[in-house]
Structures are given as structure tokens and as C-alpha cells.
Structure 1
């Protein structure tokens, strides 16, 4: 019996600003950094394309995603 490994579409990575107040410089949204993940955004499994995304919970309670490079401490 063989066990195929199913690739994970994302993996959480540590970040110094997790659970801290941040600003997304691209949108201007300020909120709490909830997570940073490496996410496979490729449409084809044979050609993976991984990016690091930050998830920020704004004042409305909704989370937005943005490039990690866009995150600045407030």
C-alpha cells in the first residue's frame, strides 16, 4: 500500500508582529495581524508558486490579505 502525500495549499509561518497592531500600506487598513502564511497560488500543481501573505483583522472584524512586505507596525 502506498500513501500519497497531499500537498498543503498553505502553511503558517512565524512573524514578529503577530497579534500586534499593524497597517497595510497598500490599503491603509489598520488592525491586528492575525496570521502570516505561505500560500500556493499556482493554478497548476506541476508548477507551484508560493507567496507570503499577511492576514489583518480590521476594525470591522473582517480580515484582509496583503503581501507581507506591505505590513508596518503602528
Structure 2
């Protein structure tokens, strides 16, 4: 059972903290962790977890796997 709020955001202890995406090296504030349905390589739907980071430099939020995040101290 999901504990998501009205917008589909899951509770996460790192929400609002400064994080680094280890895949890209980008840093910013963690804004949300959500489950989204995306097509797999066969076009069938599958559910994935995505974390959204608001970059310090501005612009669009970056999405990445929540497992790619580390808290910046």
C-alpha cells in the first residue's frame, strides 16, 4: 500500500535537504520522491521510483533514481 499524498509524493526523510546525484554530479534540493508508470523496452507499463532535484543553478528539476542520491553536508 502506498503512503503517497494527493500529488503522488512519497514521504522521504531527505525531502528538502541538499543532495547530490551521483550519476551526474548535480547538486540541489530534493523536492519529491514519486512512483511513476513508464513503458519498458517492450512498451509495457512498469512502475519506477523517481526523485526530483531542484538544481542550485535553477532551470528545470532533474529526475533520477532515489538510490543515486547522497546528502551533501
Give the TM-score taking structure 1 as reference length.
Answer: 0.75
Q: 1:56 aligns with which of 50, 53, 58?
A: 53
Aligned residue pair count: 62
Q: Residue by residue, what CA displacement relative to the aligned partner does 1:1-48 show, whole Å, maximum 9, x if unpaired? A: xxxxxxxxx8221111000000000000011001111000127xxx43
Task: State the partner residue of 1:66.
Answer: 64
Q: Which runs of 4+ in 1 moved over 6 A?
A: none
2-structure distance, mates of 1:55, 1:28: 14
Question: Post-superposition shift, 1:56?
Answer: 0.5
- Structure 1 unaligned spans of 5+: 1-9
In structure 2, the residue corresponding to 1:69 is in which secondary structure?
helix
Task: State the partner residue of 1:25.
Answer: 22
2-structure distance, mates of 1:27, 1:38: 21
